């Protein structure tokens, strides 16, 4: 792996914001700040052609974020009114947050994968039902009632999601972004979210990787209560797909640009294999356990005590995703829960008990 966004990396190490950069002719990266996040900023991409100007992942919806985005557009010789299209790699608020405000100013179309549109519409028209389902999922994970009440989605969260821009354009795998004059192709990479997209431009030999492949951190792969497909299996398959673009420069949505996608994919695959081994070892030690019990025993970069609030929920979902993956592979087993009871996982595989490693 070779870092190509050297100014971005220096800024990362110096805890400052990287500069707006022209990465290719008519392609700029713009750091848009994320409030109170260790990720610090989203790298928004501005891509122009004779036929228009597309913003990929406008960033988190704050006034500072809007100023950063408009400043980036100005640096590229444009203004928000010139934007003709918005593409989001996925609908998390650090990517899709500003789409509503940007669209209101310029009337641009908003494009995403159909599965992301489904995630947004799952929140529509649901009142107490969504929180009730979410509490039931936390209970199946074995989260105690008081902790679950603090972790379940709130009306405020749901209202924020409902306010997010619905798509005008759906991009399936292989579809071209409607930007005449450039061939920017959607690559469907489910895992981090069910409809995550990367964007490939053959002529510029680049892959916008969104959150799918980042140079330093591993994106959260969490069990999504409403996902159709187990997310870790989907993610591992999508990683293999990204490795096929090894000649391309990776333009991620966080941190810094780099070369060497196949190398980075190998590291991420190894990371998840280690995570799976860790879960099996924990199970062998604990005996039958819930997702919640296993989550607390897993290693977290800042330690479990520092995993609070939304991060705690993401941790439970990540443990759940690894457990589900191991159970699907027959490496551990799971007892289906009685109504209102948690699922219990054991290290017993079909081939007999697995010894601690
Ligand atoms: Zn992100």
- Nearest alpha-carbon partner for 78 in 104, 52, 98: 52
For residue 96, the CA-to-ligand 1 centroid distance in Å is 9
What are the tokens at 351?
């081939």
For residue 31, the CA-to-ligand 1 centroid distance in Å is 12
Can you tell me the distance from the alpha carbon of 326 to that of 217, in angstroms, rounded to the nearest whole number? Answer: 22
Can you tell me the distance from the alpha carbon of 45 to that of 184, in angstroms, rounded to the nearest whole number? Answer: 13
What pLDDT shows up at residue 356? 45
For residue 283, the CA-to-ligand 1 centroid distance in Å is 31
The pairing of strands 352-353 and 348-349 is antiparallel
For residue 198, what are the CA distances in angstroms to 5, 63, 71, 188, 189? Answer: 18, 27, 25, 6, 7
Q: Are 39 and 94 in contact (CB under 8 A)?
A: yes
What are the tokens at 4?
């190509």
Q: Nearest 5°: CA angle at 147, between 141 and 149?
A: 95
What pLDDT shows up at residue 125? 64
pLDDT, one tens digit per residue, over 104-124 is 999 999 999 999 999 888 877
CB count within 10 Å of CB 122 equals 15
For residue 108, the CA-to-ligand 1 centroid distance in Å is 22
For residue 288, the CA-to-ligand 1 centroid distance in Å is 34
What pLDDT shows up at residue 22? 98
For residue 253, the CA-to-ligand 1 centroid distance in Å is 6
For residue 173, the CA-to-ligand 1 centroid distance in Å is 20
For residue 136, the CA-to-ligand 1 centroid distance in Å is 27
Q: Are 347 and 332 in contact (CB under 8 A)?
A: yes
Rounded to a whole number of angstroms, the distance between the first and last alpha carbons of the chain is 31
pTM: 0.92
What pLDDT shows up at residue 257? 98
What pLDDT shows up at residue 299? 93
Positions in the chain short of pLDDT 70: 125-128, 225-228, 350-357
pLDDT, one tens digit per residue, over 169-190 is 999 999 999 999 999 999 999 9
For residue 92, the CA-to-ligand 1 centroid distance in Å is 7
What pLDDT shows up at residue 128? 66
């Amino acid at each position: 792996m070779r870092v190509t966004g050297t100014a971005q990396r220096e800024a990362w190490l110096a805890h400052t914001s990287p500069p707006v950069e022209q990465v290719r002719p008519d392609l700029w990266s713009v750091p848009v700040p994320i409030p109170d996040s260790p990720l610090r900023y989203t790298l928004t991409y501005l891509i122009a052609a004779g036929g228009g100007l597309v913003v990929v992942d406008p960033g988190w919806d704050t006034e500072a974020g809007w100023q950063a985005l408009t400043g980036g557009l100005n640096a590229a010789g444009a203004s928000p009114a010139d934007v003709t299209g918005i593409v989001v790699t996925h609908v998390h608020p650090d990517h899709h947050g500003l789409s509503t405000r940007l669209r209101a100013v310029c009337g641009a179309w908003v494009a995403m994968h159909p599965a992301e549109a489904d995630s947004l519409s799952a929140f529509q028209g649901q009142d107490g039902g969504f929180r009730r389902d979410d509490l039931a999922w936390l209970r199946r994970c074995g989260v105690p009632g008081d902790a679950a009440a603090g972790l379940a989605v709130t009306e405020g969260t749901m209202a924020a999601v409902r306010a997010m821009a619905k798509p005008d354009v759906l991009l399936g795998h292989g579809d071209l972004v409607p930007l005449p004059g450039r061939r920017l192709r959607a690559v469907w990479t489910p895992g981090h979210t069910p409809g995550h997209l990367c964007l490939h431009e053959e002529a510029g030999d680049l892959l916008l990787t969104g959150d799918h492949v980042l140079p330093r951190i591993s994106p959260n792969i969490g069990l999504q209560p409403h996902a159709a497909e187990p997310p870790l299996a989907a993610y591992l398959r999508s990683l293999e797909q990204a490795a096929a673009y090894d000649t391309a420069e990776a333009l991620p949505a966080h941190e810094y640009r780099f070369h060497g996608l196949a190398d980075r994919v190998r590291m991420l695959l190894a990371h998840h294999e280690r995570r799976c081994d860790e879960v099996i070892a924990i199970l062998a030690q604990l005996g039958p356990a819930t997702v919640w019990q296993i989550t607390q025993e897993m290693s977290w970069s800042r330690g479990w005590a520092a995993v609070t609030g939304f991060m705690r929920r993401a941790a439970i979902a990540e443990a759940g995703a690894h457990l589900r993956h191991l159970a699907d592979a027959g490496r551990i087993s799971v007892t289906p829960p009685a109504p209102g009871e948690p699922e219990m996982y054991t290290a017993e595989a079909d081939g007999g008990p697995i010894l601690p490693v």
